[in-house]
Amino acid sequence: MQNIQSLEHYVEAYRKSIENPEAFWEEVASDLVWKEKWKRVTEWNFDPYSCAWFIGGKINITENCLDRHIAARGDHTALLFESNNPDDEVRRLTYRELYVQVCRFANVLKRNGVRKGDRVCLYMPMVPELAIATLACARIGAVHSVVFAGFSATAIADRINDSDCSFVITADALSRGAKQIPLKAVVDEALMQCPGVHRVIVYKHLGWDVVINNRRDVWWHDELQMVDSDCPAEPMDSEDILFILYTSGSTGKPKGVVHTCGGYATYVNYSFKNVFQIAPDDVYWCTADIGWVTGHSYLLYGPLMSGITSVMFEGIPTWPDAGRFWSVIDKHHVSVFYTAPTAIRSLMAMGLDYVLPYNLHSLRVLGSVGEPINEEAWHWYSIHIGKNRCPIVDTWWQTETGGIMISSLAGITPSKPAHAGFPLPGIQPVLLDQDGKIIEGNDKEGYLAIRYPWPSMIRTTFGDHERCRQTYFSTYRGYYFTGDGARRDENGLYRLIGRVDDVINVSGHRFGTAEIENAINQHKQIIESAVVGYPHDIKGQGIYAYVICDTQPDNPDRMREEIFETVNSEIGRIAKPDKIQFVSGLPKTRSGKIIRRILRKVAEGEVSNLGDTTTLLDPLIVEEIIRGRLV
């Protein structure tokens, strides 16, 4: 199928996709190699929710990522690895080399007893072996569950147990900027709570001494000696599970979002090529970690299905200094660059001295993902990185959507600062009012929902379909509800406003307020807590926690440190509260419900207009909270 090449072409594709969705998606799916063609395009129902795509079809995504490219592009670089340390040698894996390594590691998995359908947890550094292990799972039909290597032992254990993983793949340790993290030791701690795990495969990355449990642990490099590289791709039913990825929602426990083989591959392939207007010689760099959905869809699967070069970066934007991104673009002649607003804002704050030394002429397209990008950051990105000649694609999507849903197509459809733009062909967003009625027309604002399925939409939350229904299909019956608020401008371009539920987005990472509260409440001196988001210059949103202790702490700073440690051990450092205010009570209704609106306003510093507080159980508490507000 040809990529969309003009605005007229987009309008035409969009029209076709609405008039005859099944014919449209059949054509899109035909761009991939299928082992057997599907018998029916889709069957779905949003009330109660069920959804299937390319029913009866057989496919293996790794054949589309690897085998199909060998003949024509076997020597083309598939993965280009830039290590944390800028002086380390660059690693390049061609499509042929990656194919061989994936097949060999797939045989390692089989040798260790991994079978089709088994769940495998990956807790790895951002090194090519993470990509290899992920693809190896997909090769043999094992379900990968990648957990970002920043989550704590407790968080890993919860995820392993929730999806009943019997296998873990990890490394001795990782480097991220100046920090090192002892991955194997964290896994060892997690596995004390995971009796179901009977094999751990350990990749030696930094050469640390680690404890090896002989009955359970094997070394990656030893295992590779025992296998050959012949591993045919398992024919997967289109609706077999490809992966589980945990994400936070408004309830306390993260949920395992399930994506299936055929629909996910189809939509990721289509959206990737069109949004970024991919050309065969692109050197494409997505800075996300494979531990997040962006890394799954647009660092690994999308670029490899396209047969282009995908850059994989182990480090962070600010180490050894704030010029690292720009130096890597210069060094590898990156043509498409996809990053998060947080990174842009933090680098913008460091000044142009870190940008100017580098040659950024190779850049052709810039992308943004994960949170709203403010106009100032958008312009800085456009002017100083794109030199006013690279279109910016502001891509709105979610772990649950599998792929980009609303975004301009680079250089093809209109791009406007802080606006994601038009929906991709096949995607039917609507704005709803409080009562779930569709808001028609432009220049309108409402709750963002989707009224028709698309191939890569969430199939279920692992092990609990009712939770999936409740979370996404019960707020507005008959629609997939995104949890986001949005505005449609006078030309129909969508602008995302932010979450309208109890989810906060910190540096593009999602946390449920309840999830952080649960973590804080593990501290034995804490009676209750309430967490809200507030605007943060760099992170987009910061975490503001109101905490009630059994007695007012005489050393608040020490207590704060203890709370950080508690959150660190329950979730990980990424969920560290930015501000902790000790309070003697929380604003509650007479029935005991916390009024978060008041807490949010205080955290935002908008204390003059708190609305009616007379119905509160204890109106005086609001005064106390305002007096103690942290700036």
Euclidean distance between CA atoms 112 and 200, whole angstroms: 9
Whichever of 63 and 371 has its CB closer to ligand PRX, that residue is 371
Shortest gap between Cβ of 25 and ligand PRX (angstroms)? Answer: 21
Pairing outcome for strands 143-146 and 392-395? unpaired
- Give one DSSP letter per residue of 102-133, joined into a string: HHHHHHHHHHTT--TT-EEEEE--SSHHHHHH
Euclidean distance between CA atoms 346 and 281, whole angstroms: 30
Euclidean distance between CA atoms 402 and 422, whole angstroms: 18
Euclidean distance between CA atoms 451 and 430, whole angstroms: 7
Shortest gap between Cβ of 604 and ligand PRX (angstroms)? Answer: 18
Whichever of 173 and 514 has its CB closer to ligand PRX, that residue is 514
Whichever of 247 and 529 has its CB closer to ligand PRX, that residue is 247
Shortest gap between Cβ of 360 and ligand PRX (angstroms)? Answer: 22
Euclidean distance between CA atoms 19 and 307, whole angstroms: 31
Rounded to the nearest 10 degrees, how much is the dihedral formed by the CA atoms of 278, 284, 288, 289? Answer: 110
Whichever of 17 and 398 has its CB closer to ligand PRX, that residue is 398
Shortest gap between Cβ of 31 and ligand PRX (angstroms)? Answer: 22
Shortest gap between Cβ of 468 and ligand PRX (angstroms)? Answer: 14
Whichever of 17 and 247 has its CB closer to ligand PRX, that residue is 247
Whichever of 184 and 259 has its CB closer to ligand PRX, that residue is 259
Euclidean distance between CA atoms 66 and 46, whole angstroms: 35
Nearest to 419 by CA among 339, 509, 490: 490
Shortest gap between Cβ of 498 and ligand PRX (angstroms)? Answer: 6
Whichever of 108 and 406 has its CB closer to ligand PRX, that residue is 406
Report the SS3 class of residue 222: helix
Whichever of 93 and 257 has its CB closer to ligand PRX, that residue is 257
Q: What is the chain's Cα-based Rg?
A: 24
- 69 is written with which tokens? 């490219």
- Listing from the earlier edge strand, what are the strands of the sheet with 494-499? 429-432, 444-450, 480-488, 494-499
Shortest gap between Cβ of 341 and ligand PRX (angstroms)? Answer: 8
Whichever of 109 and 385 has its CB closer to ligand PRX, that residue is 385
Whichever of 201 and 496 has its CB closer to ligand PRX, that residue is 496
Euclidean distance between CA atoms 471 and 479, whole angstroms: 11
Report the alpha-carbon angle 290-275-443, nearest 5: 110
Q: Which residues bind ligand PRX (CB under 6 A)?
A: 247, 293-294, 369-372, 394-399, 420, 482-484, 496, 499, 505, 510
Shortest gap between Cβ of 372 and ligand PRX (angstroms)? Answer: 4
Does residue 577 have a cis bond before it (omega within 30 degrees)? no
Phi, psi (rounded to 5 degrees) for 332: -105, 5
Nearest to 137 by CA among 38, 46, 62: 62
Shortest gap between Cβ of 395 and ligand PRX (angstroms)? Answer: 5
Shortest gap between Cβ of 368 and ligand PRX (angstroms)? Answer: 6
Taking the CA of residue 473 as centre, how many other CA atoms within 13 Å lie in the half-sphere pointing to its CB? 23
